[in-house]
Amino acid sequence: MKNSIILFKLGLAFTSLAVPALAQDPFQTIKLAGTVVADNKTGLSYGARGCITELSQAALQSGIARAGELLVALDDRSATLAVKSARARVSDLDAAVQERDFAITTAKADVARVKEEQNYVEREFERTRVLFERGLVNDATLETNERRKLDAVFAVDRAEEALERAQSARSRANIALEIGQLEVQARELDLEALTVRSPFDGVLLNFESNIGDCVQQGGLAAQIYMPNEKSVETFLFMDQLVNASSVGVVVGNPVNVVRINGQACPGKFSLVGTEADLENQNVKITIKLDGSCAPTMFLNEAVVIETLPPNS
């Protein structure tokens, strides 16, 4: 009986050691067929309608564009005139603002002058009133000075009203100037929309325009992508994804992308899709190519993907 118990315990120990070993499936390298694609392919569209008057011959011949390079220019004669007209209008409005500033300066000087006259008239009226109380002047003289005092008050009121009107006119002139400046910016944007420039250094696709061609706003002029930013797209069947870690199909795991001539380019899994195709029961997989060898790969090139162990 004692021996049976010992044998039972040993059996349990061997079983506990064997289960993890069996649970760890050995790594299996698989090969997948894939296609090279560009990351962040950008479309270059026409910002306005018009006819082409200028093209970058260097970009047409080489298919390569530099950041900020002018690729296409449309007929800009009307837009250039519109910009010049808007700028001339701004100059006129700016002169109007300066004229209003001068009017305010003049109005302030008038207010100061009539206030000085008012102070003088008030002092004169006080002297006349004292003389009247002493009987040295008659009623007519006092009334004349009192009328002059009232006239001085009215003159100050009119001068201050004129100053307020001048300040209001300057505010309206400033608003008109701001509107004119916004109009210039709008016309400059219209002029800029007549050109297509490269947003970054890259390779052009479908850049086949000709001088004299007339295009519509929103039409595609070309596409551009960075040559060192490419990926490989492939598809994996669900039965292979059931145990994806055993074949190395995990985001971040390394792979070798092999070309038809045997050249290999390293890469890493960057995306494992979360939705299977209903009909084919496969999932889209994306591999990010290493930037050092990505420029040598052609778009739409057929390649073979070899999965590698995680630590290779």
Class of domain 24-40+226-307: mainly beta
| pLDDT bracket for residue 104 (50, 70, 90) | very high
Count H helices, E strands: the chain? 5, 14
How many Cβ atoms from other residues are within 10 Å of residue 51's Cβ? Answer: 11
pLDDT given at position 169: 94
CA 186/CA 206 separation, integer angstroms: 31
193 residue type, one letter: A
CA 109/CA 21 separation, integer angstroms: 101
* Cα–Cα separations (whole angstroms), residue 184 to 98, 138, 158: 20, 69, 39
pLDDT given at position 30: 85
Q: Higher confidence at residue 274 or residue 163?
A: 163
The CATH architecture one would assign to domain 45-75+194-225 is: Beta Barrel (2.40)
pLDDT given at position 25: 57
Flag whether pLDDT at 2 surpasses 70.
Answer: no
**Domain boundaries defined on the chain:** 24-40+226-307, 45-75+194-225, 77-192
pTM over 0.95: no
pLDDT digits (tens, 9 = 90+) for 123-149: 998 998 888 888 888 888 888 888 998
Q: What is the DSSP string of 102-168?
A: HHHHHHHHHHHHHHHHHHHHHHHHHHHHHHHHTTSS-HHHHHHHHHHHHHHHHHHHHHHHHHHHHHH
Q: Which fold has domain 77-192?
A: Helix Hairpins (1.10.287)
